[in-house]
Amino acid sequence: MGPEEKAAVIFNTTFVHPVKFYISGFSNIPHVKYFYVFLCFVYIITVLGNGFLISVIYLVKTLHTPKYMIVFNLALTDLCGSTALIPKLLDTFLFDRRYIFYEACISYMFFVLFFGSVQSWTLVTMSYDRFIAICFPLRYHSIVTKPAIAAMLLSALAVLLSAIACMIRLVDRLSFCSSLVVKSFYCDHGPVVRLACNDISLNYIMGYVAFILILCIPLVLIAFTYVCISIALSRIASGEERLKAMKTCTCHLILVAVFFLPIVGTNIATVSSQIHPNARIINSTLTHTIPALLNPIIYSLKTEEVLNSIRKLCKRNRISNKKLSKKVNSLSQLY
């Protein structure tokens, strides 16, 4: 009996929901476990990198600004999103535990979608910060305040939480009567919905609404802010000042490209051509995992404020270690 037949018989006869789904993952790829080992290293570096960036922002008081509130939120979202996806993915495929309980599958779907959408809107908030800094520099500190940024982030969080919860609620209303094999690397919304045996038109509508909310609107808003920034920069007479202002946007533009380009590319490839399931799974996996890995590296290496803060922390630690060793030496001399 193959996995499809096995999954089909694991069904709760009292309810329309199955007891378990079967996550298929890759098909007929030799040495695929090396890819999952690679993802394990990606997760470790993601946790270390984002944890380090969060610690630096928390410990250095000069970074307690509205701009770094957004960076802190992005790092925290990356950390939570990777933790929601990768450990379970590794458990599923490295240890061949491909059956997943229905409730766990729904929770899995919710957290992966939620943290991905929060990451998208955090990048929008970052673009707003750069827009005000360059287009209204004299009013920046009066407009971009901690309460204003907190309100923006919390509002986005509330809207996204409601939208993703609505998507999941609609999935929960479906009946699954035949195949329960999810042709993806996790409990992805599309592959799970396509397994249902009743009307899924409302789910598709909600899926398109979520796609517009999570991907299209953020991209349009970011593009609009950079059009405004470009116009403002073109009015700056000095080339040196223009270059200095552009440098403040470099990190954000790299983060936007790293996050949005793979997602847009994967969706275009899926819609325009018959992409092989294995290729789609690799693209989707890297799209979900690589941005969270790169974000702290980009911010740590490309931002002068963060680099200076890291140097200060290292210097402070060296001084405290020297003081501690002196105290230990003086105590040892006394005794």
3 state SS for 79-135: HHHHHHHHHHHHHHHHCCCCEEEHHHHHHHHHHHHHHHHHHHHHHHHHHHHHHHHHH
- Residue 272 vs residues 214, 254, 264: alpha-carbon distances, Å: 21, 26, 12
- Residue 280 vs residues 136, 227, 318: alpha-carbon distances, Å: 43, 33, 48
Residue 322, pLDDT score: 62
* pLDDT > 90? residue 115: yes
Alpha-carbon distance of 65 to 63, in angstroms, equals: 5
- Residue 73 vs residues 81, 119, 150, 154, 291: alpha-carbon distances, Å: 12, 9, 10, 11, 14
Residue 122, pLDDT score: 94
Contact criterion met (CB below 8 Å) for 176 and 197: yes
- Mean pLDDT score of the chain: 84
At a CB cut-off of 8 Å and minimum separation 6, what does 334 contact? none
- Structural tokens at position 325: 């060793």
**pLDDT digit string, tens, across residues 208-244:** 999 999 999 999 999 999 999 988 888 875 777 777 7
pLDDT grade for 331, boundaries at 50, 70 and 90? low
* pLDDT > 90? residue 106: yes
Residue 281, pLDDT score: 83
When pLDDT is averaged across residues 312-334 and rounded to a whole number, the result is 65
At a CB cut-off of 8 Å and minimum separation 6, what does 281 contact? 25, 26, 184, 185
* pLDDT > 90? residue 275: no
Range of lowest pLDDT (208-212, 250-254, 263-267, 268-272): 268-272
More confidently predicted of 335 and 135: 135
Give the rounded percent of residues in the chain with a pLDDT score beyond 70.
87
Contact criterion met (CB below 8 Å) for 298 and 74: no
pLDDT grade for 5, boundaries at 50, 70 and 90? very low
